[in-house]
Amino acid sequence: MPIPVLLARGELSISGTSVSTVAYYLALIGGILMVLFGLLGFFVSFGGFYFHWGFAYGGIVTLIMGVIAIFGARNAGTLVWALVLIIVGLIGGGLGGLLVVLGGLLGLIAAVSKKA
């Protein structure tokens, strides 16, 4: 069982893979899923726009949060972007949002361990 080790350069590592890298991949995959589910939700409920006054707000919000998560995944190891990813994942919701929140939490752990 690998034990997290704080390396000399301040990078928390689990069996050779840094936590920042894992946070990046989780946030990136979650962001891609949020974009796909946002597009799907937007186009599925877009037909209702012609018959009702409503609009596909859920799909648009998930789509926008997914794009923010994709761009923010690159900086998941920094404190500010880790917090942004957590908030974006909570607002976006779904499976993609859960992955983004997990990526943000791991990025937060990596950011705090670098400062300690």
> How confident is residue 44, by pLDDT bands cut at 50, 70 and 90?
confident
The answer to whether 60 and 39 are in contact (CB under 8 A) is no
The fraction of the chain above a pLDDT of 70, given in percent, is 73
Tally the C-alpha atoms within 13 A of residue 81's C-alpha that lie toward its C-beta: 20
- pLDDT, tens digit (0-9, with 9 covering 90-100), for 73-110: 999 989 999 999 999 999 988 899 999 999 999 999 99
Q: How far apart are CA 71 and CA 69, in angstroms?
A: 5
The answer to whether 84 and 108 are in contact (CB under 8 A) is no
Total structural domains within the chain: 1
10 Å CB burial of residue 7 (0-12, 13-18, 19+) is exposed
Q: Which residue range is the domain that position 87 belongs to?
A: 5-115
Quote the pLDDT of residue 41: 81
> How confident is residue 56, by pLDDT bands cut at 50, 70 and 90?
low
SS3 18: strand
What's the pTM? Answer: 0.78
Is residue 47's pLDDT more than 80?
no
Quote the pLDDT of residue 7: 44
Quote the pLDDT of residue 40: 86
